[in-house]
Structure 1
Amino acid sequence: MTDVAIGLTGLGSLLVLIGLRVPIGVSLIGVSFVGLWSLMGWRVAWGALGTIPYQFTANWVLSSIPMFLFLGFISYHTQLTRGLFQAARAWMSGLPGGLAIASIFGSAGFAAVSGSSLACSAAMGRIAIPEMIKHKYHPELATGTVAVAGTIGALIPPSIILILYGVIAQVSIAKLFLGGVSAGILTAIGYIIVVLVRVKLNPDLAPSRDDRASLSEKIVALKDTWPILLVMIGIFGGLFSGIFTPTEAGAVGAFLACLVALISGELTLERFLKAARETTTTTASLLIIAVGASLLTRFLALSGAGDYLSAGIMSVAANPALLLLGIVLVYLLLGMFLEPIGAMLLTLPIILPVVDASGWSLLWFGVVLTKLLEIGMITPPIGMNVFVIKGVVGDLVKTSAIFRGVLWFMVMDLVIVVVLSVWPSLVLILPDLIS
């Protein structure tokens, strides 16, 4: 068997293992180890298993991941974003579907401190959905809006996906964050348009409210937003002014979140320890998958299978538009079955050389890739954000109803992908300002 054949066999075996529900990190490490053994012998395989994980995890930038995760979990457990939703609710009360729009604003605000779609959906689901159901919003609109609004968490910095992508693709994390801001804002605007259009076409989805807030009530509501705004200003102000690096921003943000929660009386020892435990387990899971992806990269490089597949993709889709369409379809398909980080790390060893050879901006692609991965978070049959919302609402709303609720927003997501592809400057304009 040739080296390329060994590499392709390894990839096939990897897909089989994932299909059998073997954890993706274990699958990546196992297949890569056996593949390296077949290619180079057991000494090289054991050597790679000893050195590659260290080489990857020793990257200082990765230290920001547990800090940003801790920031998000602290914000979630101490409900730092509740005031932001209530303020958005007051200011949006006069608009059709005002509570749904408020949940989008609230999710965007929580995204700026969490970096996680799941945390975003869970936090806003517990706050916004009961309010919408109470005001007789249709369950599909209420749950669907919060499920998709959570996906903004991976676009607006700090984003765990963008950090991992930046490390692997060797792209500036700060510039990726700036590119993510543009895409996140565009996404939020798109979701708001969907809500407005749906409610205009069918007012029964969101009955108009009689308790519209007065100007004084709107101004008073703003005072409860100080906890999350203080954390956001501290992170972004220091990050983009150059006071500290993206790596240090995670630690600063986590400290600020703890301090603000302590001042507001929401931080208890139990909540602190719970956030710390969740941060530890989530970080470990992410790094195991990332280490497996690094081993797979080395295996594909040594076997030549990576170059073989990249050349094959380039020859089949010589037209850039067709190539991009193929990549979009691949990630939409993977999103139906894999969680985003696993899907990204599984495919980057093959996709990145193709993107680089096509002359596309790796920074732009990182943001578009993140957007595609987040569409997978609401795509059946897995749709992790949908199941998070299902856990929040329990038997109140069927899973199928939540999926129906997100379909309208999925169409808008695809429109946004097209817009970002046709006008890449929308992603690159902010990063170019700090070049």
Structure 2
Amino acid sequence: MDPNIVAIILIGSMLVLLSLGIWVSLTLTIVGYIGIAAFTGAPAGPIMATTVWAQSWSWALTALPLFIWMGEILYRTRLAANMFNGLAPWMNALPGRLLHVNVVSCGLFAAVSGSSAATTATIGRITIPELEKRNYDQKMIVGSLAGSATLGFLIPPSIILIVYGVAAEVSISRLFIAGILPGLMLMVLFMGYIMAWSLLYPERTPKPEPRIPFMERIRATAGLFPMLGLIIGVIGSIYAGFATPTEAAAIGVVGALILSAVSGNLTWTSFNESVMGATKTTCMVTLILAGAAFLSVSMGFTGIPRTLATWVGSFELTQFQLLIALTFLFAIMGCFLDGISIVVLTASVIMPMVQAAGIDLIWFGIYLVVVIEMSQITPPVGINLFILQSMTRHDLLAVAKMAFPFFLVLVLATLLLIVFPQIATFLPSLMTRN
């Protein structure tokens, strides 16, 4: 049968199953089975069994549950509160003042949690009441938090970068290092927008708080040291070549447990909750990856990726034109699917086109994550919007409207990555030289 017709049937089947509320992992597996059983002569059952098994014991995946567990442990500590107290005295002099605490806190917590949702919930629980108490603009409180929390996807260790690394078969260590400069760039852009807004609307920014003596600011900053130490331990061990991502994840878990114990938050209840939370999330991601691997194999048997790559190639798009087209595609998909699902659903079809266009897969992974970050603050599926809706008195559309300026900042970041790819490739190139 014509691969174009097969593609339409399989995509239609996927949309129907997803609309019925079927789990993403089961949807991928069912569609993959249909593709092989109905349109090829290959044995679907044995292929599914061998593919799922090969995917499930991948060594690269061992870092995934450890990083998720580390984030779950830290979610239940007082580190977020300590971050606010340590950062607030230094942010008070900047235009926008304590709104910058949202950005910097999210960046720091993202560097040890790897999860956008965990970053939103943890930082929001601390900063929203504090900023509201000081009469900061409600739109900027919610908007800056919604945008900044997407850093959980980009700043390493990132769960979605691990998923991409497995799906695209590229180095997870290099992906982690590649995410550092783009993550810092996003923080600068978010803070720059806050400064510009506060200068345009000075009447909507509270007056500066009383100046705190320098030594008191230093003592308050001491609360940041545990978090910074954990970041250096995890990311530094990878960059220095002392540890693989899996070994660094183990270091992170041990460090998180020690910090939790020292802060007095480590109890049997919190430990059990962190283990169960990490187990549920890991099972969900692993099942999605297994289903996606089977669907990728199924796509290969049906010839759809080759046909699609040939079709796109017939347009003779430049790299820039292809990336703009993919940006629109991923942005639209992000309105209806979560980030991990987007990666695994598109990997088998998009990767051949990307490679044929000569695009670096490490750079493409960072670009993809930044585009997916947009989906976290766009309705109807933006998970950050749902979390903030539950934490504030606003409805979903109001929260989305507040986050829209930061969505535009993410669009700008995507364009900067396309025009200046060295932002993502510079640090990994240093690793290669060393």
Q: Tell me which interval the TM-score lies in, with the shorter structure as reference length.
A: over 0.9
- Superposition pairs for residues 342-421 of structure 1, below 5 Å? 342-393=341-392, 395=393, 397-421=394-418
Q: Aligned partners of 1:8, 1:317: CA distance in 2, in Å? A: 23
Q: Aligned partners of 2:36, 2:139: CA distance in 1, in Å? A: 49
Is the counterpart of residue 23 in structure 1 residue 2 in structure 2?
no
- Superposition pairs for residues 184-263 of structure 1, below 5 Å? 184-263=183-262
- Superposition pairs for residues 274-293 of structure 1, below 5 Å? 274-293=273-292
TM-score, with length taken from structure 1: 0.96
Amino acid at match of 1:19: S
The one-character-per-residue Cα deviations of 1:396-419 (angstroms, maximum 9, x if unpaired) are: x33333212111111111111001
List alignment gaps of at least 5 residues for structure 2: none
Cα offset for 1:23? 2.2
**Aligned residue in 2 for 1:37:** 37
TM-score, with length taken from structure 2: 0.96
Instruction: Name which of structure 1's ranges 279-288 and 260-269 shifts more when overlaid on structure 2.
Output: 260-269
Q: Aligned partners of 2:310, 2:128: CA distance in 1, in Å? A: 48
Q: 8 Å contact 2:163–2:343 — kept in the other structure?
A: no
The one-character-per-residue Cα deviations of 1:242-283 (angstroms, maximum 9, x if unpaired) are: 221111111110111001111221211111111111100101
Q: Aligned partners of 1:129, 1:329: CA distance in 2, in Å? A: 32
Cα offset for 1:81? 2.9
**Aligned residue in 1 for 2:170:** 171
Q: 8 Å contact 1:5–1:305 — kept in the other structure?
A: no
Cα offset for 1:222? 1.2
**Aligned residue in 2 for 1:428:** 425
Amino acid at match of 1:177: F
Instruction: Name which of structure 1's ranges 367-376 and 381-390 shifts more when overlaid on structure 2.
Output: 381-390
The one-character-per-residue Cα deviations of 1:147-176 (angstroms, maximum 9, x if unpaired) are: 111101111100111111111212111111
The one-character-per-residue Cα deviations of 1:47-96 (angstroms, maximum 9, x if unpaired) are: 12211111011111101000000000101111323222221111101222
The one-character-per-residue Cα deviations of 1:200-229 (angstroms, maximum 9, x if unpaired) are: 111243212333333122111111112212
Q: Aligned partners of 1:32, 1:236: CA distance in 2, in Å? A: 37
Q: 8 Å contact 1:378–1:386 — kept in the other structure?
A: yes
SS across alignment from 1:81: helix
Q: Aligned partners of 1:14, 1:337: CA distance in 2, in Å? A: 13
- Superposition pairs for residues 25-174 of structure 1, below 5 Å? 25-40=25-40, 44-174=43-173
Q: 8 Å contact 2:379–2:397 — kept in the other structure?
A: no
Q: Aligned partners of 1:3, 1:364: CA distance in 2, in Å? A: 30
Q: Aligned partners of 1:335, 1:3: CA distance in 2, in Å? A: 26
Q: Aligned partners of 1:138, 1:347: CA distance in 2, in Å? A: 39
The one-character-per-residue Cα deviations of 1:11-59 (angstroms, maximum 9, x if unpaired) are: 2211232234332211111111122111345x81111221111101111
The Cα RMSD (Å) is 1.5
**Structure 1 residues 131 and 103, CA gap change in structure 2 (3 angstroms):** same
Q: 8 Å contact 1:64–1:247 — kept in the other structure?
A: yes
List alignment gaps of at least 5 residues for structure 1: none
Cα offset for 1:2? 4.2
**Aligned residue in 1 for 2:331:** 332
Cα offset for 1:384? 0.9
SS across alignment from 1:98: coil
Q: Aligned partners of 2:428, 2:165: CA distance in 1, in Å? A: 14
Instruction: Name which of structure 1's ranges 9-18 and 157-166 shifts more when overlaid on structure 2.
Output: 9-18
Instruction: Name which of structure 1's ranges 1-10 and 99-108 shifts more when overlaid on structure 2.
Output: 1-10
Amino acid at match of 1:185: L
Amino acid at match of 1:408: P
Amino acid at match of 2:269: E
Q: 8 Å contact 1:390–1:399 — kept in the other structure?
A: yes
Q: 8 Å contact 2:3–2:307 — kept in the other structure?
A: no
Q: Aligned partners of 1:90, 1:70: CA distance in 2, in Å? A: 31
Amino acid at match of 2:45: W
Q: 8 Å contact 1:337–1:381 — kept in the other structure?
A: yes
Q: Aligned partners of 2:244, 2:369: CA distance in 1, in Å? A: 22
Q: Aligned partners of 1:3, 1:316: CA distance in 2, in Å? A: 18
Q: Aligned partners of 1:358, 1:317: CA distance in 2, in Å? A: 10
* Aligned residues between the structures: 432
Instruction: Name which of structure 1's ranges 163-172 and 206-215 shifts more when overlaid on structure 2.
Output: 206-215
Amino acid at match of 1:173: I
Q: 8 Å contact 2:292–2:345 — kept in the other structure?
A: yes
